[in-house]
Amino acid sequence: MSVFDSLIGQDHIVDQLSNAVKVAKGGEDSQAMTHSWLFVGPPGSGRSNAAIAFAAALVCKESGCGKCTDCTTVLSSTHVDVERFNPTGLSIKAEEVRELISRSSWSPSVGGWRIVVIEDADRLTETAANALLKTIEEPESHTVWLLCAPTLTDVPVTIRSRCRHVQLRTPSTASVEEFLLNQTQVDEKTARFASRVSQGHIGRARFIATNIEAQSRRKEIFALPLSLRDIENCFKAAQKLLDLAEDQAEKENSDRDAAELKQLQDAFQGTGRGLISGGAKAIKDLEKEQKSSATRSIRDNIDGALLDLSTFYRDVLVLQSNGAEILNIDLEEEIANYARTTQPKRTIEQIDAILTARANLSRNSAPLATLEALFCALK
């Protein structure tokens, strides 16, 4: 067993990271190990998992056995020397980065390294990136920075030029299917279906395979393009998709938000006027953070739904081009019927409209207005 077992279809990365760990522990004079790393790869490729596995291997006495206290605490985000920063808001602010830099200078408590993992480093604001630059360029001798982002161009050139690049690739359908069969209790048919429709996204594949609600929500999303008969239905479809995204975000965040609020109230000994000094401001700040986190969750869920819709039109184009390898095999009849009602040129325009909507959402456009414009364009 190894912490790198979770990296599906990334053998080239496992070799690179394992060699770096060996050099780091052996004290060899080699370029294989450095203090600043940038993990990039498409959504679902496992870039965050790769960074966390690398961190575990560095602090583990057995170079990542996956069973010791060091490994298990790193994987569960509770290791004292490994800080995992997963931004909940739409951006990573300079104040947050400065706090990370301050803590990164502490000496390791139980091992030889202090490691900071920044997920979604593409969300760094310009000010935050500038604050991080000097530390990335000249880190403490005992500190390792592991940054994660979708692509190299998503990270400021000043940051990426000072990091060792680790490029992950999309796992094959067969690799994802094998992972589901080994790591979940689903049957072969479900594993094959989930691995195919997820397009190599391991997290989505697991979610679809093991969650009945996710499968039901997916069917509701794919019913939307078939309902676009007039403008009124376009606006209804936009509202429906937004409602689905908000409902999913509520289910994802409600329990966590309630637990965080209760923990803070307990720390300040009460609620309302019973709070000790500073409690009201702390709770207000927490509620602001939770609202920002909910906004991000909604946008992420909308983006995921638009990716699903793009595969619908992708499959339509495949059939219109006399192909046979569609992704959404459970909707074969509906896709075939739709493909006969339109032309390939129009299908390409519809795919472009979805890509434009995703780009607009990434620039913080209003979700409902963006979706209304999209479904009118898809009609």
38/87 same-domain check: yes
Torsion of CA 141, 145, 151, 152, to 10 degrees: -30
Residue 299 domain-assigned?
Answer: yes
Number of separate domains in the chain: 3
Give the Cα separation of 188 and 358 in Å (integer).
Answer: 33
Highest mean pLDDT among 16-20, 264-268, 370-374: 370-374
Mean pLDDT of 75-85: 91
Give the Cα separation of 304 and 361 in Å (integer).
Answer: 12
CATH number at residue 328: 1.20.272
Q: Supply the pTM of this predicted model.
A: 0.77
Give the Cα separation of 66 and 59 in Å (integer).
Answer: 11
Kindly list the strands in the beta sheet with 36-40, ordered across the sheet, starting from the edge strand earlier in the chain.
82-85, 114-118, 143-149, 36-40, 164-167
142/161 same-domain check: yes
Per-residue pLDDT band for 268 (boundaries 50, 70, 90) equals: low
Residues of the chain above pLDDT 70, percent? 94
Residue 322: domain span: 227-252+285-378
* pLDDT tops 90 at residue 317: yes
Mean pLDDT of 321-339: 89
Q: Residue 338 contacts by C-beta under 8 Å, 6 or more apart in sequence?
A: 225, 226, 316
Per-residue pLDDT band for 377 (boundaries 50, 70, 90) equals: very high
The per-residue pLDDT for range 22-74, each reduced to its tens digit, is 988 876 667 888 999 999 998 888 899 999 999 999 999 998 898 999 999 99
Residue 258 domain-assigned?
Answer: no
CATH number at residue 81: 3.40.50.300
The per-residue pLDDT for range 83-107, each reduced to its tens digit, is 999 887 778 889 999 999 999 888 8
34/159 same-domain check: yes
Whole-number mean pLDDT of the chain?
88
* pLDDT tops 70 at residue 269: no
The per-residue pLDDT for range 187-212, each reduced to its tens digit, is 888 888 888 888 888 888 888 888 88
**Cβ–Cβ < 8 Å for 25, 63:** yes
Residue 49 domain-assigned?
Answer: yes
27/84 same-domain check: yes
Where are the alpha helices (H) located in the chain, listed in sequence order?
Answer: 11-26, 47-59, 69-75, 94-104, 126-137, 157-160, 173-183, 188-197, 202-210, 212-223, 231-267, 279-320, 332-339, 344-362, 367-378
84/22 same-domain check: yes
Residue 218 domain-assigned?
Answer: no
Residue 102 domain-assigned?
Answer: yes
* pLDDT tops 80 at residue 282: no
Mean pLDDT of 247-268: 76
Token pair in block for residue 110: 């139980």
113/56 same-domain check: yes
41/179 same-domain check: no
205/347 same-domain check: no
* pLDDT tops 70 at residue 274: no
151/11 same-domain check: yes
Per-residue pLDDT band for 266 (boundaries 50, 70, 90) equals: low
pLDDT of residue 91: 83
148/180 same-domain check: no
Residue 56 domain-assigned?
Answer: yes
Residue 7 domain-assigned?
Answer: yes
pLDDT of residue 201: 84
* pLDDT tops 80 at residue 260: no
88/111 same-domain check: yes
Residue 163 domain-assigned?
Answer: yes
196/322 same-domain check: no
